[in-house]
Chains A and B, each alone.
Chain A
Amino acid sequence: MRLTGSQIFVEVLIEQGVDILFGYPGGAVLNLYDELYKSSDRIQTVLTAHEQGASHAADGYARATGRTGVVLATSGPGATNLVTGIATAYMDSVPMVAFTGNVATSLIGRDSFQEAYIEGITLPITKHNYTVRRVEDLADTMRSAFRIAQSGRKGPVLVDIPKDVTANSCEFTPKEPELIRTVTQVNDALARQAAAMINEAQRPLVCFGGGVRSAAGCQPLRALLEKADIPATHTLMAAGVLDYGDPRNLGMLGMHGCFTANKAMAEADLVLAIGTRFSDRVALNPETFTSAKVIQIDIDPSEMGKNIALDLSITGDASYVLQAILPYVEPALHKDWMAQIVAWRKMDYRPIDSDRVLRPHQLIDELCRQAGPEAVYVTDVGQHQLWAAQYLHHTKSRGFLTSGGLGTMGFGYGAAIGAQMALGRRQRVIMLTGDGSFHMNLNEGCTAVSYQLPIITVIFNNQVLGMVRQWQTSFYGKRYSSTDPHRKTDFVKVAEGFGAKGYRAATLEEFRTALADALQQEGPSWIDCRIDKDERVLPMIPGGGDIRDIIME
């Protein structure tokens, strides 16, 4: 069958099971968009307001489903606008394939109109990237891109397609999608060794991260915790994997993790780290972080011992490794250890309710009560993000989408659009944002209106860049340099301007009513919630510190 590059593009997308493509058109991708138009019954294209939004949408789609998110942008500025989205996905190991158009091969390297060397630009922020120079290579290159994005440790892959490649034609042979390869074989001796260490431990602790969410299933983790009576703490990336109410779930670890989790880490005699890379926001001081023996399980061998010293490492998909270990683990009860943890819990930071002003934890409690544990919660970056991680009552392993590794303000709206498109309108999607982050990418409000997406956005409006301001409060003598912008934005009017619904809430009662109304809307809405600018995220361990440096008030 002889097809043009553009036809091949669409055929391979369909062959790879792509149902939605986020993107933005332009000169270099006109041929591709023309073919997508003709195939709009087979594949849906979603037009965003900005390529960055499209890249975050592809990312949100992938985080919400585990499937590969796909984004398409034109050459030059279209391609460079994807960069933040690709880097965000790379840092959090999200499977994504980004396609960019480029000028014709004869014009490449001549500083042609809208030419950018996107392969070079994205080299350090992709798992791999390609420029397709011949139409004959297009189909197999695309197939490789999809395979690489999903294999092993997942991540973004970029395919750059010059315009003449989309116009030229060649013979096309349809193929079945290649099966994904992942590390599932576990060395039995290592599994026994890990189990022996677990059986011996008096104060074992599991610490899990985003790798558990992308592992084939989280069930073996729950089974292990139950069988050997082990408490568990998680990183920001793994919020929601264990039930909020589970007594063995200590909550979040690290800079803004709770006292109990950080204390347990310091006092444990064995730490089983699963799908986490001990980033500098978790192991703030890699030397004093824990004195326990450490077993690390990760799909990426290059993570082994990268940040902290290990006693044992097992490479593989977390769920397979745990399944291999589980039979050798003896049922146990760690009564003293659990009692100690219960005692520490009494010392955890507890925010005080207010009936006068809106406090973040009360706002989030109310949000959970109305939107329910089955909702998908998406965040931006800042204080509101950490409050969300601390106070949301999660129960879904893919129900908390946040930019952890890169910490990208402006991630939220695009990601919420991707999640809502992927899961359908019956799925409740809630975005928690700050006034600073929302200002970055609220342009995607128009996309939510175009596609009638019932996304509810809760703006934690403290009128400041709160997270940075908090550091200035604690470490820079309250010199609030560039964190207090005095913006006069009326978010209700902005909503109306976009054709969305806007609400304002200054008290819990107002928030309750606004949210109840927002939940009835067919399209997008946002609630401007006024909170005090001096609200802080607590507890906090300063960078490079340890449990002894924890700030609780």
Chain B
Amino acid sequence: MTQQSLPRPEDRRRVISLLVDNHSGVLARVSSLFNRRGFNIDSLTVSATNDPAVSRITVSTHGNDRDIDQLILQTERLEVSRQVFELDLENSLQRELLLLKVACGSRQRAELKEIASIYKAKIIDLSPDSMVLELTGKPEKIDAFLKMFSEYEILELCRTGVTALERGGKHEHIQKPPQEIRDYQFPMPGRGLAGGASSQ
């Protein structure tokens, strides 16, 4: 593992969407590139899209503009990537799912139920000494929700990571530079050595 650098003051939370070929091994290419280039990934989700040939990778990270430009340019360079773009946090819809298991005896049930109802979280499992809550929302909402549990004993916790779409109609984000067609090979330099002398 590459040592990950601490966030700097100018870093902001960023969400990047990658539309990539839907093949085996594509995720390995993308995540290997992140690791190699030292990008710090907070969360990553992969999902199918309406086009069976394409899958969508949503990456949530922290960085300044220059880091993010580099991340986009580097991932665009992969043969398997089709479109890579940053989602504007204002104009996009972001959701994350949380499953949270807290220790909870019969005396704490009412308090926890109240927190859940304020955040519109669902209680999806209850046992004599624990409770599992489910919450969907923006990452900030989930962070805020989790803060409410500082006084409780969290047994286990799982977040899916951000998945996101832009608002409004379909967007095109072709950034690969325009390409033109050129001759396919350089002129032949003439066949190897006189008569292609081969010792085999």
Chain A residues in contact with chain B, CB under 8 A? Answer: 16-17, 19-20, 37, 40, 44-47, 64-68, 119-120, 123-124, 127-128, 148, 150-152, 177-185, 216, 300-302, 304-306, 315-316, 420-425, 450-453
B200–A150 CB distance below 8 A: no
B184–A180 CB distance below 8 A: yes
Is the CB of B125 closer than 8 A to any CB of chain A?
A: no
Q: CB-nearest residue of chain B relative to A315?
A: B177
B28–A120 CB distance below 8 A: yes
B181–A179 CB distance below 8 A: yes
Is the CB of B32 closer than 8 A to any CB of chain A?
A: yes
**Which B residues are CB-close (under 8 A) to A152?**
179
A19–B79 CB distance below 8 A: no
A148–B79 CB distance below 8 A: yes
Q: Give the distance in Å from the alpha carbon of A181 to the alpha carbon of B28 in the complex.
A: 26
**Which B residues are CB-close (under 8 A) to A127?**
79
**Per-position binary interface string of chain B over residues 167-184, scored 1 when its CB falls under 8 Å from any chain A CB and 0 otherwise:** 000000001111111111
B184–A182 CB distance below 8 A: no
Which of B68-76, B129-137, B141-149 is near enough to bind chain A? B68-76
A422–B189 CB distance below 8 A: yes
Task: Report B198 CB to chain A, min CB distance, Å.
Answer: 6
Q: If A128-B79, A300-B77 touch, does A305 touch B186 (CB 8 Å cutoff)?
A: no
Most buried by A among B28, B78, B191: B191
Q: If A180-B183, A183-B178, A301-B73 touch, does A451 touch B197 (CB 8 Å cutoff)?
A: yes
Closest 7 CB pairs of A and B: A302-B73, A128-B79, A181-B179, A184-B180, A66-B186, A179-B181, A450-B199
Q: List 18 A-B contacts (CB under 8 A).
A: A19-B196, A20-B192, A67-B185, A68-B185, A123-B29, A124-B33, A128-B79, A180-B185, A181-B182, A182-B180, A182-B182, A184-B179, A185-B179, A216-B182, A300-B77, A301-B175, A305-B69, A421-B192
**Which A residues are CB-close (under 8 A) to B77?**
300-302
**Per-position binary interface string of chain B over residues 37-78, scored 1 when its CB falls under 8 Å from any chain A CB and 0 otherwise:** 000000000000000000000000000001001100110111
Q: Which of B73, B74, B78, B185 contacts A17 (CB 8 A)?
A: B185
B182–A180 CB distance below 8 A: yes
**Which A residues are CB-close (under 8 A) to B191?**
19, 44, 424
**Which A residues are CB-close (under 8 A) to B25?**
119
A452–B184 CB distance below 8 A: no
Q: Which of B74, B181, B185 contacts A302 (CB 8 A)?
A: B74
B180–A183 CB distance below 8 A: yes
Is the CB of B194 closer than 8 A to any CB of chain A?
A: yes
Q: Give the distance in Å from the alpha carbon of A376 to the alpha carbon of B184 in the complex.
A: 25
A65–B197 CB distance below 8 A: no
**Which A residues are CB-close (under 8 A) to B70?**
302, 305-306
Q: Give the distance in Å from the alpha carbon of A301 to the alpha carbon of B81 in the complex.
A: 15
B180–A305 CB distance below 8 A: no
Give 14 A-B pairs besides A177-B184, A179-B184, A422-B189 with Cβ atoms closer than 8 angstroms: A17-B184, A19-B192, A128-B79, A128-B80, A150-B185, A180-B182, A180-B184, A184-B182, A185-B180, A301-B176, A423-B189, A423-B190, A452-B193, A453-B193
Q: CB-nearest residue of chain A relative to B184?
A: A177
**Per-position binary interface string of chain B over residues 141-165, scored 1 when its CB falls under 8 Å from any chain A CB and 0 otherwise:** 0000000000000000000000000
Is the CB of B6 closer than 8 A to any CB of chain A?
A: no
A44–B179 CB distance below 8 A: no
Q: CB-nearest residue of chain A relative to B33?
A: A124
**Which B residues are CB-close (under 8 A) to A304?**
73
Q: CB-nearest residue of chain A relative to B181?
A: A179
Q: Which of B33, B178, B200 contacts A45 (CB 8 A)?
A: B200
Q: Give the distance in Å from the alpha carbon of A40 to the alpha carbon of B198 in the complex.
A: 9
Q: Which of B73, B179, B186, B196 contacts A182 (CB 8 A)?
A: B179
Task: Report A480 CB to chain B, min CB distance, Å.
Answer: 32
A302–B76 CB distance below 8 A: yes
Q: Give the distance in Å from the alpha carbon of A316 to the alpha carbon of B188 in the complex.
A: 25
Q: Give the distance in Å from the alpha carbon of A150 to the alpha carbon of B186 in the complex.
A: 10
**Which B residues are CB-close (under 8 A) to A453?**
193
Q: If A123-B28, A300-B77 touch, does A44 touch B198 (CB 8 Å cutoff)?
A: yes
Q: CB-nearest residue of chain B relative to A178?
A: B184
Is the CB of B36 closer than 8 A to any CB of chain A?
A: yes
**Which B residues are CB-close (under 8 A) to A37?**
200
A452–B180 CB distance below 8 A: no
A451–B76 CB distance below 8 A: no
Q: Give the distance in Å from the alpha carbon of A56 to the alpha carbon of B77 in the complex.
A: 25
B185–A421 CB distance below 8 A: no
**Which A residues are CB-close (under 8 A) to B175?**
301
Task: Report B173 CB to chain A, min CB distance, Å.
Answer: 14
Within B16-40, the residues touching A (CB, 8 Å) are 25, 28-29, 32-33, 36
Q: Give the distance in Å from the alpha carbon of A459 to the alpha carbon of B36 in the complex.
A: 37
**Which B residues are CB-close (under 8 A) to A185?**
177-180
Most buried by B among A177, A420, A421: A421
Q: Give the distance in Å from the alpha carbon of A65 to the alpha carbon of B185 in the complex.
A: 10
Q: Give the distance in Å from the alpha carbon of A54 to the alpha carbon of B19 in the complex.
A: 37
**Which B residues are CB-close (under 8 A) to A305?**
66, 69-70
Task: Report B194 CB to chain A, min CB distance, Å.
Answer: 6
Q: CB-nearest residue of chain A relative to B71?
A: A302
A124–B177 CB distance below 8 A: no
A179–B66 CB distance below 8 A: no
Q: Give the distance in Å from the alpha carbon of A453 to the alpha carbon of B194 in the complex.
A: 11
Q: Which of B32, B69, B178, B190 contacts A424 (CB 8 A)?
A: B190
B182–A451 CB distance below 8 A: no
Q: Give the distance in Å from the alpha carbon of A151 to the alpha carbon of B189 in the complex.
A: 20
Task: Report B33 CB to chain A, min CB distance, Å.
Answer: 8
Q: CB-nearest residue of chain B relative to A19?
A: B191
A183–B179 CB distance below 8 A: yes
Task: Report A22 CB to chain B, min CB distance, Å.
Answer: 11
